[in-house]
Every structure is written in C-alpha cells, then in structure tokens.
Amino acid sequence: MPEYLIDDREAPRFAVNRKNMVDPEVLAKEREQIFDRCWLYIGHETELRKPNDFKARSVAGRPLIFARDAKGLIRVWVNSCPHRGAMLCRQPEGNARFLTCFYHGWSFSTAGEVVSIPGDDAYGPDFERPGLAAPPRVDSYRGFVFVSFDPEIVDLPTYLAGAREYIDLVADQSETGMEVLDGTHEYSVKANWKLLVENSIDGYHAVSTHQRYFEMVMAARGEIDPGALGRSVGIDLGNGHVVIAGEPTTGGLFGRPLSEAGETERAERFRKFAEKYGDAWVDRMRGARNLVVFPNLVIIDLVMGVVVRKIDPITPGYMEVTAWHLAPTDEGEELHRQRLDNFLTFWGPGGLASPDDVEALETVQKSCAALKELGWSDVSRGMTKPAVDADDELQLRTWWRHWNKLMTGEALPPEPHDPPGDVYTGQKRPNTAAVG
C-alpha cells in the first residue's frame, strides 16, 4: 500500500491518505522536502512604496524582513540580530533608515550593513562586524517577489513554468501597473494547510458550499443562465502549479451589478487592452482564473477582484492565511469601489465565501480523528473523462502528484486528457513590452 497517495489508473482511483493532514512527521518532512526547496512568495513590490519601507513576514516558519533599501532596491533579510538573535522588526511594518535591535542596540541599514554597535571598542580591531543574513535566493516576476532557501534551485522563471502566463493575464490588466492595496486580511483555520490549497482550486464545492452567495446573486440579478457563465477547466501548468481557467464572459456576472458608469469604464479598459495586446489575449484576460503556484501561493481573479493569498502551515491541524488585494493603479473610482466592496464582502474573513470554506475545512480536519476507521479521501472525479471541467479534480491530483514527488522521489505520470482548447491555452501574450 502506498504511504501517501493511491494513483490507480486501471480502476481508476486516486486517494489521499488522511494521515497527511494530521501526522507531525509529515509536516516535518514537508518543511524539509518542500518548503526548504521551493520558491516561496513573500510579497509584492508595490507594498514597499518608499525607500526604507519594510514589512515583517513569516515564510516557511522563518521570520523575514521584506524591505526596500535607501537606494530603492528590494531586499529580504532574516529578522534576527546576528549578535544574540533577537528580532529586529517587532512591528508588522514601518519605515526606518536603520533597523535597531532593542536587546543590545546593534543597528543595521535596510541594505543589511551593520552601522552601529554600542561599545564597539570592546570587541577589538579584528572583530568581524556581521551584517544581516539573507535567504540564498531572492527574485521577482511581474512584481511578485519570491525567496528560496535552496541555493541550488532553478531560476524563478523556469520554476514558474506555465504559471507565468496566468500571472501575465493578471499583471496586464493595467497600463500603469498593478498594486497591492492598503489593508490585509489575516485569519487562521483549524485545518491542515493543504486543505485550503485544495479548496482554492476545487470547482466541485462551489454550488453546495456557497449556496447563500448564489442566492444573493439571484436575488440581485434574477435567474442566471448557467451557459452565460462559460466553461471552466483545470490545467496542469508544470512543476505542481495548476489553474482553473474560465472562458471569457461579457460582464461582471458575479457580485453586485456594476453601475452604468462602471460597465462603461470596464468595456473601455478592455477596448484599450485589445489595441495593445490583440483580441485573443484580452479574451483570455476577461475570463476568470484560480491559480496555485506550488506549494502555497494562490492568485484568484474572480468576482471583480484579484486576491493574492499566502497559506502558512503552523501545526498539522492549524494554518495561518494572509490575503491582499491587487488592483490596477489606473482604475476609475466606480470600478475601484466595486473591487474594494467585493474584497471585503466576498473574500474577507467575515464575507460571503471565506467563512463557508473555513467551516468546511475545519470539519474535514475534525473527521481525520477517525483515521483508523476511514483513512483515505477520494480525489478521483473526472479520471475517466476525455475532457475535464473545473468541477472535476484533475488540478487537485496534479498538485498532489508533485507534492508526492518531492516527498518520496516518485514521479507519477500525468493523466491523458483532451487538451483544454485555445480559449484557455492557445492565445499567448504578444511581445509588446518587456516583462520583468
């Protein structure tokens, strides 16, 4: 019997061992085999608007400082004084020319250089005055900044593989750049971190779990033709990255209806994008997407907004979630208001979607106490279909197979299905501008 997964193509059956959600040894191995060896998201460049801005972040259990130095360069430092280990930044964010340890007063620049040691002459002329420590690798793509604790990892563009295309579809939604808005959603879930990863790319649960949301939409708009929503499919993007990609739609079919001014502005923005990128790319941009960058970054472009979600495991049965809202810097007042409204009322910890998901995941975690009686969860939906949809589970199985590869070294083959079609993958981004 396999330890973590059952991937039986003849039955067919795909099952996940529920011990993966409760066993401390599994989490310890994940930290070593996955979080110590992957590129991990720390933040967006636009969160650091001015020189010497900083954010204190936790990535893979490590305390880090996400900063912009005095010259405007993005830096990442370990949030620990090299003297005796106290945390330098005890506030979640700020702006300071110097980062000073409150324990013994050692002080450092945002470029990581030691600038002051009280009683410096007591150390002698040959004492090596250490600067701040940093993760071995730091890089960014389209403003999204990643770190890796593996000095030998492949470069970030290679690691992102097909996920780059879907980040581009988000980043291209402004002619002046996308920015993270002020304000952060921070909440915790009494469940294993992998359950929220699954949930973020699980189209099967939408109607049953979020019934009250669909009732609200119908009350606001009347009956909705299911065909107007367009088809969505799950796609393997390589290296464990997956996406649910939706066909283009003609308007904001979810959330509160836009005003006439909002609809006019939205249409005009897409018209300008089509002039720059062509109709094919903009058709894809007008669709929806739930993207997971392996292992724990989620980018959701849905319900009139773009949510960036970082999922951090704390214990086998407890995770912390941080979410930000990404928006065009050149967006008009009406669209911006609608975007903020949806970030709060749909995506927020007390909104129309997140509490439903939290409740579902916490019940799953509680039921894992019956591991001996019911030890496996089924993830087989769609394995026999020639073409899969978003409410099938191809994208979940893809993520789990990569997880299993990193945990065990076993490379399971991908599933053979018909390609999803050009509306999802065939219309590539034209080379109209440099992409950093």
Same structural domain for residues 319 and 202? yes
Please give the order of strands across the beta sheet that includes 93-95. Answer: 74-78, 62-68, 53-59, 93-95
Same structural domain for residues 318 and 402? yes
In a domain, 147, yes or no: no
Same structural domain for residues 386 and 241? yes
What pLDDT sits at residue 245? 93
Read off the amino acid at residue 39: W
What pLDDT sits at residue 436? 43
DSSP β-bridge partners for residue 328? 178
Q: What is the pTM for the complete model shown? A: 0.94
In a domain, 226, yes or no: yes
In a domain, 14, yes or no: no
For residue 133, the domain's CATH number is 2.102.10.10
In a domain, 167, yes or no: yes
Same structural domain for residues 74 and 221? no
DSSP β-bridge partners for residue 255? none
Q: How many domains is the chain built from?
A: 2
Same structural domain for residues 393 and 278? yes
In a domain, 152, yes or no: no
Same structural domain for residues 119 and 224? no
DSSP string of 333-390? HHHHHHHHHHHHHTTSTTSSSHHHHHHHHHHHHHHGGGTTTS-EEE--TTTT-SS--T
DSSP β-bridge partners for residue 139? 146
Same structural domain for residues 350 and 206? yes
Same structural domain for residues 247 and 326? yes
Read off the amino acid at residue 429: R
Same structural domain for residues 218 and 332? yes
In a domain, 430, yes or no: no
Question: Which helix (DSSP H) or strand (DSSP E) does residue 297 occupy?
Answer: strand 297-301
- 275: containing domain: 163-425
In a domain, 60, yes or no: yes
Per DSSP bridges, beta strands 306-315 and 297-301 are antiparallel
In a domain, 28, yes or no: no
Same structural domain for residues 294 and 387? yes
Q: pLDDT tens string for the chain (436 positions)?
A: 789 999 999 999 999 999 999 999 999 999 999 999 999 999 999 999 999 999 999 999 999 999 999 999 999 999 999 999 999 999 999 999 999 999 999 999 999 999 999 999 999 889 999 999 999 999 999 999 999 999 999 999 999 999 999 999 999 999 999 999 998 999 999 999 999 999 999 998 988 888 777 777 777 666 665 555 568 999 999 999 999 998 876 545 566 667 788 888 988 999 999 999 999 999 899 889 999 999 999 999 986 789 999 999 999 999 999 999 999 999 998 889 888 888 888 888 888 889 999 999 999 999 999 999 999 999 999 999 999 999 999 999 999 999 999 999 999 999 999 888 766 776 677 765 544 4
Same structural domain for residues 228 and 365? yes
For residue 193, the domain's CATH number is 3.90.380.10
